Chains A and B, each alone.
Chain A
Amino acid sequence: MIYERLDKYRNNIAVIEKNNNFYYNDIIEHSIKLGYYFGSDILCLIVTGNNTATIISLLSLIENNIPALLVNKPKNIASLISIIKSYKPRYILLNSYDCLDENIKNITCRQLYSFFDYTLIETIYETDYEINKSLSVLLTTSGSTGTNKYVRLSKKNIFSNASSIIAYLDILEKDRVITTLPFGYSYGLSIINTHLLSGASIILSEYSVIQKEFWDLLHEKNATTFGGVPYTYEMMQRLRFERINIPNISYITQAGGRLNTKLTSYFLDECAKKNIKFFKMYGQTEATARISYLEPEYLSEKTDSIGKAIPNGELFVADENNNYLGSNETGELIYKGDNVCLGYAESCYDLYKGDENNGILHTGDIGYYDKDGFFYITGRKKRFLKVFGNRINLDELENNLNNSGCLCACSGVDDKIKIYVCSENMKNQAALLLKEILDIHPSGYSIEIIKEIPRNSAGKIQYSLLG
């Protein structure tokens, strides 16, 4: 079904990787060939990279109704083993070079097929679990806190969210997006899906905006758009975005966490000067990617707003008893739409589950809407932070550290995690553990020694008394 949709773009360039152009026709042909090797009722893990092979893998799995577990390629391939053990995928698609890793060799039954720089392997795992027919993609909730919690998405979720995004961004065949985010991240994946379904071209890059190669590629291949998380925008401001000449860029998007008022104002002004539309957006992996967006024309008036619900979605504010609230009343943001995920999974034994949400998502974000219907976020119900675009659940992290014998309390503000311990010994232990389980740059967290972790009479940690 997806091949049919893409076939009408067969003569368009789908992917530009280094000096190679691949047309939609090429991509479909390669996906069909890969599809010959798949059985049915199995799970396939893709170790994603921003490359053509990952795009081919994704298309082939979707077309063949095989659920894809997406994992961004980690620095150390051995760290995949815990995910592999808990999901027992029958197949794995990964870089051919990584097949040589001892850990991967140990779980390989045989290598089935190689294409581009990727190889499809069959693992030693039997599929001794049931897979729900509606399951299509498993995505991480984006922050690595050492857990294997994934969001379960259906084909309907993926296609519905892509259609909404294509509609409000007005993505056209002539657009050329340059990649800035990993494909195993909901925002990164949504950029790929929406451009493929529009017949547009994707310029593959794994460079950061602070690398010369990124800007060279952007110019050389005539990119017209790109997206970024708040940290991307912070870096671009440091690079003095105002002096960067990018005449071919027609619009840019931002999601993956709150962009502070100062940065929003800066990009509002600079984008206006450059005649670039700037879309500030809000979403969650639980909603496949996108929930709301702010029309660029309202950015100056509603700078801090997350905008309004995407086409075909609805946003509400509700109190604790689930009663809908009126304008300017604060409560939890509730989203309704076909892009609301089926639920979560923590291992392959959760894959039998069907739709547990029925299109309704309790976002956990606290906020309100103004008299003009624009939504604002003022806080969070659950304790989590967004660090360099990664969602970090503080309770999960704290449990994980405690279970590893490191007694601590995890807290923090905005984009900086603080870990409180009571001895030098614990501090050293925490530092070692964090390097292992938290896949973010160490400047995103700090460890502080305090006399004692404040608790109330019931023994609950009083986070408000920390830092």
Chain B
Amino acid sequence: MTNLEKYCNIYRKVFELDNNSDVTTLSFQGIPLWDSIGHMNLIAALEEAFDVQFEIDDIIDLSSFEKGKEILTKFGVDFN
């Protein structure tokens, strides 16, 4: 599984979406389950899956699927 697939699947799992559903347009408060509680679940799942520890600015900046990719790239996760 590529990092991108792994990354997408975390969104599907945390936000209870169907396999293969499009997650690339997701953003904070864009769907009911991505509220502040869903956000902390997402952060915990990403930290665990990619073995990283986010800083406060990362956690509060991670407001969309795309933004999350940027932040993880900064931590050395390769999405290509």
Q: Which residues of A contact B (CB under 8 A)?
A: 75, 208-212, 215, 231, 234-235, 238-240, 243-244, 388, 441-444
Contact B56 A239 (CB under 8 A): yes
Nearest CB in chain B to that of A444: its residue? B37
Q: Which residues of B contact A (CB under 8 A)?
A: 16, 28, 32-33, 35-41, 43-44, 55-57, 59-61, 63
Cross-interface CB contact of A441 among B38, B56, B61, B63, cutoff 8 Å: B38
Contact A240 B56 (CB under 8 A): yes
Work out how many contacts link A and B, with CB atoms closer than 8 A. 46
Contact A239 B35 (CB under 8 A): no
Q: How far is the CB of A231 from chain B (nearest CB, A)?
A: 7
Contact A211 B60 (CB under 8 A): yes
Residues of chain A within 8 A (CB-CB) of B28 are 211
Q: 11 A-B contacts, Cβ less than 8 Å apart?
A: A210-B40, A212-B57, A212-B63, A231-B37, A235-B36, A240-B55, A243-B55, A244-B56, A388-B37, A441-B37, A442-B16
Nearest CB in chain A to that of B32: its residue? A75
Contact A443 B59 (CB under 8 A): no
Residues of chain A within 8 A (CB-CB) of B35 are 208, 441
Cross-interface CB contact of A239 among B16, B41, B44, B59, cutoff 8 Å: B59
Q: How far is the CB of A441 from chain B (nearest CB, A)?
A: 4
Cross-interface CB contact of B36 among A208, A240, A444, cutoff 8 Å: A208
Task: Check A238/B36 contact, CB under 8 A, given A211-B60, A244-B56, A442-B16.
Answer: no
Contact A243 B36 (CB under 8 A): no
Contact B40 A235 (CB under 8 A): yes
Q: Which 5 A-B pairs have the closest CB atoms?
A: A208-B36, A441-B37, A212-B60, A239-B56, A210-B36
Q: How far is the CB of B28 from chain A (nearest CB, A)?
A: 8
Q: How far is the CA of A215 from the CA of B61 in the complex (A)?
A: 12
Residues of chain B within 8 A (CB-CB) of A75 are 32
Q: How far is the CA of A209 from the CA of B38 in the complex (A)?
A: 13
